[in-house]
Amino acid sequence: MTAPTVEAAIHELMDLTWNLVYGLLAERGLLGDGLFVEDYTGIHSWLEDLTRYTIVHSRTVAVLFVDTRPVDAVVFHHDLLGADDPKSFFTVP
């Protein structure tokens, strides 16, 4: 169970860009049984200069958003969240 504000932030990002996230997951072979926003329970966000980076993850998949646009998806592993530069796990345009 996630806190209501965390859950709201996850749903806002994922719901606004559902079709783009779906496309990323399908393209990377990470779709599994489909896209269920409620499976995404973790969020990690930081600011670099004027750009906001946000990682939203389930137990198996992590999606990187730059500002509010999803740019890449990878298999989730816990090292990602403890990394000095979490975006290095992704391909950032």
For residue 1, the model assigns a pLDDT of 46
* Structural contact between residues 14 and 40, judged by C-beta atoms closer than 8 angstroms: yes
d(CA 79, CA 84): 10
Residue 58 lies in a domain: yes
Query: pLDDT (tens digit, 9 = 90+) per residue, 40-89?
Result: 889 999 999 999 999 999 999 999 999 999 999 999 988 888 899 999 99
d(CA 79, CA 51): 23
* Structural contact between residues 63 and 49, judged by C-beta atoms closer than 8 angstroms: no
Residue 88 lies in a domain: no
Residue listed under structure tokens 């992704």: 90
Residue 69 lies in a domain: yes
Q: How many structural domains are present in the chain? A: 1
Residue 48 lies in a domain: yes
For residue 3, the model assigns a pLDDT of 61
Domain that includes residue 32, residue range: 4-82
- Residue 2: band (very low, low, confident or very high) from pLDDT cuts 50, 70, 90: low
Structure tokens that stand for 70 in this block:
């999803």
Residue 91 lies in a domain: no
